[in-house]
Amino acid sequence: MLLGQKRYSSVAVALHWAIAVLILTQIASGLYMADLPNSSSVKFDLYQLHKSFGLSILGLTLIRLGWRLAHKPPALPSFMPGWQKLIARLTHWAFYALMLITPLAGLAIVSVSPLNVTTLWFGLFEVPDFPFFNGVADRAAAAETFVEVHEYLAFSILFLFVLHVGAALKHGFVNRDGVLRSMAPRVVALIGVALIFGALGLAAFSYLQKSGVVERDSAVPIDVALPDTTPADAAAVKPAAPPVTASAPLNNDSVAPEVVVTAEPLPQAALEPEPSPTQTMVSVAPPPVWTVDYPASTLRFIGEEGGAQFEGQFSEFTAQIVFDPGNLGASSIRVGVNPASAGSGNPFRDDTMKDRAWFDVKKYEGAQFTSNTIRKTGANAYEVDGTLTIKDFSHDITLAFTLDIDGDRAHAAGGVDLVRTDYGLGMGASWLESEKVALAVRVEFEINAVRAD
């Protein structure tokens, strides 16, 4: 019997059930993901989804709290003893407090964590970190503390949940006082719940698509737009294009061979020295342009993490090669690399590489190498001095390579040893410990190219 008990409004009912389901899922997913090994291919994405759903719970709780303050809830049955009413009220307000503090503690973990992973709500927009942790000396220890706090808070929600469900069932099946029915969902509230889950489901799906967990269009064409120009007509190209325009979405499987490389043609005019009047008179032929066969070429990196070696590839790069072994003075090499295309077979590591502490791909477009001088060091061995620029760091490096030319086909292979911190890579406090990720990184390339006449 209902004993004059009014119902909660449909908005309150919809928010109550949607948040209840989200919180239970959140606790289960949180416990599951935290136990996964770092090598797990789903760990990174589960963390991103956990953060996004957790922030959604925070947003929905704020709306619910606003609604609660503006709308008086139905009164508790008048025959309920005072102490029971007090416990009921305390439980409800403790719920509100935990539903606000638990996600905030989660945000505190990621704000203070030395991993520096940006929080993007379902990959759609950035949620800023708390600004007040900048001065924290031992960020790893602080993050650990917040993880524990976050976990205790989540278990406190679970504890209240058990109390709450027990009380609700007693109202519904022992007292039969209508309290349980006052929160029972009817059609309008069910539509509200469906809308909330529909919106969050769409956002989660769009995240999974972007991150490559859900395949987009698998038939991605190979589209290598490289300069198909002779040196003469290339001179008409305006020198303005950036070295790399990565069009592929954020994809954890970027080692796969089907990769879009839509590099804007680099201005050949900029690569070739202006012919001097004397050169024109003695008609020294300019070095030929070599068109890279990208599917048959690789740009690899080899590093060490936790004492174990790992390897990866940049699947998107362009190389503009103007080269004549007999005219090294006029030869030049220019390479553009899209660091967001790095794939090492470990999605957690690959996504971390895109972050601020590493390549910061949201701020910096790409890495570039531009040759200064090329010299012969053996029968088919060469060295090229040039400048490598990654983010705001430029350093002169020397690449050693071998070159075999067979008719109009060329094969070059070589590499260079770099120190990652010279280029501001892995600058968060914990990444600087070289035993975690070694400072030395080897970059190796193998290029197959065809002479363009």
Site for ligand HEM in 120-159 (CB under 6 A): 147, 150-151, 154, 157
Question: C-beta of 84: minimal distance to ligand HEM in Å?
Answer: 27
Q: By CB under 6 A, is residue 30 in contact with ligand HEM? A: yes
Question: Among 43, 54, 193, 358, which residue sits at the site for ligand HEM (rule: CB under 6 A)?
Answer: 54
One-letter amino acid of 136: V
> How many Å apart are CA 255 and CA 106, to the nearest integer?
32
End-to-end CA distance of the chain: 92
Q: By CB under 6 A, is residue 50 in contact with ligand HEM? A: yes
Question: Among 2, 3, 21, 31, which residue sits at the site for ligand HEM (rule: CB under 6 A)?
Answer: 31
Question: Among 12, 14, 110, 196, which residue sits at the site for ligand HEM (rule: CB under 6 A)?
Answer: 110
Q: By CB under 6 A, is residue 196 in contact with ligand HEM? A: no
> Of 150 and 334, which has the nearer Cβ to ligand HEM?
150
Helices and strands in the chain, H and E counts: 9, 13
Kindly indicate which of the ranges 106-114, 176-184, 230-238, 247-255 contains the residues binding ligand HEM, using the contact rule CB under 6 A.
106-114
Spacing of C-alpha 390 from chain mean position: 18
One-letter amino acid of 157: I
Do the beta carbons of residue 447 and residue 413 sit within 8 Å?
A: yes
Report CA-CA distances (Å) from 147 to 28, 112, 158, 226, 385.
Answer: 15, 11, 17, 49, 48
Length of the chain in residues, anyone? 453
Q: By CB under 6 A, is residue 286 in contact with ligand HEM? A: no
Among residues 150, 208, 243, 178, which one has the least CA distance to residue 347? 208
Q: By CB under 6 A, is residue 57 in contact with ligand HEM? A: yes
> Of 28 and 184, which has the nearer Cβ to ligand HEM?
28
Question: C-beta of 184: minimal distance to ligand HEM in Å?
Answer: 23
User: Number of residues in contact with ligand HEM, rule: CB under 6 A?
Assistant: 26
Q: If you ran DSSP here, which 8-state letter would residue 202 be given?
A: H
One-letter amino acid of 422: D
Question: Among 14, 107, 271, 410, which residue sits at the site for ligand HEM (rule: CB under 6 A)?
Answer: 107
> How many Å apart are CA 149 and CA 144, to the nearest integer?
9
Residues of this chain that bind ligand HEM (CB under 6 A): 23, 26-27, 30-31, 34, 47, 50-51, 54-55, 57-58, 99, 102-103, 106-107, 109-110, 119, 147, 150-151, 154, 157
